[in-house]
């Protein structure tokens, strides 16, 4: 009888450890520092097609992957956007283009993204890009395919050769890259 309980205990510990270990960790999700960032073409809110390769030719690109609208506008995404907007001058001095990727189902995505920035002024070197049906987030390994979720929030700095110079991925809602962290990671800083 004792042997049966001991075996059950070992099995239970193994199952719990296995379930915990199989969940994504930030280092297991998305591109890593040194990787080549996959090129993409996404439309911005104005309908203009934006390609990573074209942006990177002009200087560093900051990609901020938001959660989109998982039934509400994410307050952590809203706070991150506001913080980056307050540092817009520093990003401009660094020559960086800042792209916020807003993922979600194609139906109604533009309206939801427009609502996210409604009433917020942001400079020309900031863009809100639409990721309809999670094509970008899936290609970048950032699709958070769980109930009530959309994409793992992430921030990347991509240099002129499309190499990832900075990567921070959150497998929760918080722990986002700050503007200060990103500015410090920009080339030439």
- Beta strand 97-104 pairing with 49-51: unpaired
∠ Cα 14 20 24 (to 5°): 140
Q: Where is 52: in which H helix or E strand?
A: helix 52-58
pLDDT score recorded for residue 171: 87
Residue 43 has a CB neighbour count (10 Å cut-off) of 16
pLDDT score recorded for residue 189: 55
pLDDT score recorded for residue 49: 97
Q: Which CATH number fits domain 30-185: 1.10.260.40, 3.40.50.1820, 3.40.30.10, 3.30.2320.50?
A: 3.40.30.10
Whole-prediction pTM? 0.84
pLDDT score recorded for residue 16: 32
pLDDT score recorded for residue 52: 97
Mean pLDDT per 10-residue section of the chain, whose length is 189 residues? 42 33 54 94 96 96 94 93 96 96 96 91 92 96 91 95 95 92 86
Residue 68 contacts residue 103 (beta carbons within 8 Å): yes
- The full set of domain ranges for the chain reads 30-185
Q: Which residue has the tokens 């020559």?
A: 95
pLDDT score recorded for residue 58: 94
pLDDT score recorded for residue 137: 95
Residue 163 has a CB neighbour count (10 Å cut-off) of 16
Which ranges constitute the DSSP H helices of 59-171?
Answer: 75-86, 88-93, 109-117, 135-139
């Amino acid at each position: 009888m004792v042997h049966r309980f001991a075996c059950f205990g070992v099995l239970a510990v193994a199952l719990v450890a296995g379930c915990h270990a199989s969940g994504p960790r930030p280092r297991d999700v998305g591109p890593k520092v040194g990787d080549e960032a996959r090129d993409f073409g996404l439309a911005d809110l104005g309908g203009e097609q934006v390609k990573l390769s074209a942006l990177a030719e002009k200087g560093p690109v900051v990609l901020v992957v938001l959660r989109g609208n998982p039934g509400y506008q994410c307050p952590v995404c809203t706070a991150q956007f506001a913080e980056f907007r307050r540092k817009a001058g520093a990003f401009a001095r660094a020559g960086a283009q800042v792209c916020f990727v807003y993922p979600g189902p194609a139906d109604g995505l533009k309206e939801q993204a427009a609502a996210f920035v409604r009433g917020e002024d942001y400079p020309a070197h900031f863009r809100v890009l639409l990721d309809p049906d999670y094509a970008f987030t899936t290609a970048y390994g950032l699709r958070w395919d769980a109930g009530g979720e959309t994409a793992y929030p992430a921030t990347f700095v991509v240099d002129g050769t499309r190499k990832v110079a900075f990567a921070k991925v959150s497998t929760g809602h918080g722990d986002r890259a700050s503007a200060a962290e990103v500015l410090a990671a920009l080339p030439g800083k």
